[in-house]
Amino acid sequence: MNILAFDCSSKTMAAAIGSGETVLAAAFSDENRNHAPYLMPMIHRLLEETGLKMRDIDLLGVTVGPGSFTGLRIGIATAKGFADLLGIPVAPLCSIDVLAENYREHRGILVPILDARKNQVYAAVYDNRERKMEKILRETPISPLEELAAKLPAGTKPLFFGDAVPGWKERLEAFYGENILFGAEDRGGIRGEALHRLTAAAPASAYTADPMPVYLRGVDAKARFTDYTIDAMREKDIPELVALDKTAFPRPWTEKMFLGELHSGYGHYWVIRSEGKVTAYGGFWLVARECHITNIAVHADHRHTGQGRAMLEHIIKAAKLYGAHGVTLEVRPSNETALHLYESHGFVREGTRKKYYEDNGEDAIIMWLRFPDFSQEKPWR
């Protein structure tokens, strides 16, 4: 039986082709977390290396979680496509189980951890002291410090490994002291050989034509809001704005600061009202035909619903109507969500302001969206 198995559940990517229990070819990559453009070329290279065609594959294996929501969907969608086209089954694999296979020979307590963000990891605990790989804690999102320590057998020295180790290593060392081991860096990701081994060992009763992702916690995204208005900011909005800002920033604006912005003569601000209350706001200073965005904020209870995007698009339209040459802003390098939002709307990075943010001394990235100059083409403008 020819097997193709692959994984896109974390920061790394892997695939393998084997026959029976023998691995014929395997590949691994930790170069790019954007797996979509690279999975199919990896599979193609393995097919070329083994001399097989996709029609020769009898069984597919794919990791179904836990892991990156996007990565899991990429892997599962690819497996479903192959399964439907070729009429072959899929063996769904637990990503944590596959990662644990990297240390099957280690006699001790195994703790594979994958990055789960939100100050957590996806982890499981295996008792391999008798070489039985007994799972004593099922995969779960958890803090790897006090919360996980309470789940470990007393008097043991657990071996931590996985893509979450680099980001947690210093804190783990400080918490566990000498009572901890770390795996080798080159064995911190899921490997093709382990994918093949667990796929080959999967019982036929586990096969499916419709593998589903295993999400251990709810998705961050919420339903996009549809019933809303964008209105000019007014003084009567300030009490709600002060409360909103406290949920959005470490150094929120005060009532006096909002009043100053409204009456400055160069500040232009709007609010989003949804569900009967102010849930977001944003605005800019217009100086010398340049728009400088001062703030875009969404109440913590309404994030990931598209309100920040709606406000940014409104600001860009307003800037054009005011005849601005472009829009600029500063953003924290650590604010990846905001960076992605701005870049998706055409903003580019043009500089850095050192130690710009007073709360933690973080630098600021200067971004610009410059509008085309149509003055020569359309002089009536």
Provide the pLDDT confidence category of residue 263 given band limits of 50, 70 and 90.
very high
Q: What are the tens digits of pLDDT across the range 45-69? A: 999 999 999 999 999 999 999 998 8
Q: What are the tens digits of pLDDT across the range 141-178? A: 999 999 999 999 999 999 999 999 999 999 999 999 99
CATH code of the domain occupying 106-185: 3.30.420.40
pLDDT at position 225: 62
Q: What is the pTM of this model?
A: 0.59
Q: Do domains 2-97+190-206 and 106-185 have the same CATH topology?
A: yes
CATH homologous superfamily for 2-97+190-206? ATPase, nucleotide binding domain (3.30.420.40)
Domain coordinates of the chain in residue numbers? Answer: 2-97+190-206, 106-185, 228-370
Task: Look up 330 and say whether it is catalytic.
Answer: yes
Summary mean pLDDT of the chain: 91
pLDDT at position 374: 45
Q: Which of 124, 98, 95 is nearest to 109 (CA)?
A: 124
Q: What are the tens digits of pLDDT across the range 219-233? A: 555 555 667 899 999
Task: Look up 266 and say whether it is catalytic.
Answer: no
Cα separation values, 139 from 87, 167, 215, Å? 31, 19, 11
Task: Report the C-alpha gap between 47 and 17 in whole angstroms.
Answer: 8
Which tokens go with 206? 């586990």
Note whether 198 and 61 are within 8 A (CB).
yes
Percent of the chain with pLDDT over 70: 94
Among 240, 290, 330, 362, the active-site one is 330
Q: Which fold has domain 228-370?
A: Aminopeptidase (3.40.630)
Task: Report the C-alpha gap between 245 and 240 in whole angstroms.
Answer: 9
Among 122, 176, 281, 342, the active-site one is 342
- 117's CB contacts (< 8 A; 6+ apart) are none
pLDDT at position 223: 55
Task: Report the C-alpha gap between 209 and 8 in whole angstroms.
Answer: 19
Q: Where are the alpha helices (DSSP H) in 182-306?
A: 192-201, 238-248, 255-262
Q: What is the dihedral of CA 323, 328, 329, 334, to 10 degrees?
A: 140
Q: Which of 353, 278, 276, 285 is nearest to 315 (CA)?
A: 285
pLDDT at position 379: 41
